[in-house]
Amino acid sequence: MGLWSDRLLPRLTNRLLDVDAVRKARAQVCADLTGDVVELGFGSGLNVPHYPPTLGGVWAIDPSEVGLRLACRRIRESPVRVVHAGFTAETLPFPDGRFDCALSTFTLCTVPDVAQALRELYRVLKPGGAFHFLEHGRAPDADVARWQDRLAPLNRAVAGGCHLTRDIGSLIRDAGLEIDDYATYYGEGPRPFAYRYEGRARRPAAS
């Protein structure tokens, strides 16, 4: 990876996504996590302060060594054990039905094969296990969506492969997960970058 994407972008993301409004949304998404958790796109550990202290542990998936170094202080100060367990969301090194919950925040936009990553997430969740997510993607408003289409190539180039045009809700459902708590809204910032999907989905209990 190049200097920008490997060294500088993780530091910039660590600052841009650590603001009051985003911290509030992270707290909401993390609030009801239970048991053992796999987190896709752990990054610099911005969710760590919001983990419920009763968690059994968090198994972190992220390719960025710089991000993991930036997370060290947050991990040290957390009562929750955090284990770096892999680099790619498309191939998770866990047995079937390993986790009580999964967590992803501002991650599904950048995973190269997002459908495969969600299939893997489904596989490693226990039947009835919950997927907590806070993502951004395709907006429903035609004028905003047109700008997303125009900006998408440049955004992928400068933002670590981030896709502005993914319909996160549809991708989650297509993986076989059932969304049972869901909100979509515009967050802070320019609208083409700010349409959010926030909620919880579940692997069916009978699966």
Q: State pLDDT tens for residues 104-114.
A: 999 999 999 99
The residue assigned the tokens 């009801």 is 32
Q: CA-CA distance, 59 to 203, in Å (whole number)?
A: 19
Domains, the chain, with CATH or none: 3-202 (3.40.50.150)
69-96 average pLDDT score: 96
Residue 206: the pLDDT is: 81
Phi, psi of 58 (to 5 degrees): -125, 125
Residue 46: the pLDDT is: 97
Q: Nearest-CA neighbor of 23 among 54, 40, 47, 45?
A: 47
State how far Cα 171 lies from the chain centre. 13
pLDDT at position 5 over 90: no
Q: pTM here? A: 0.94
> For residue 158, what are its two tokens?
């400068």
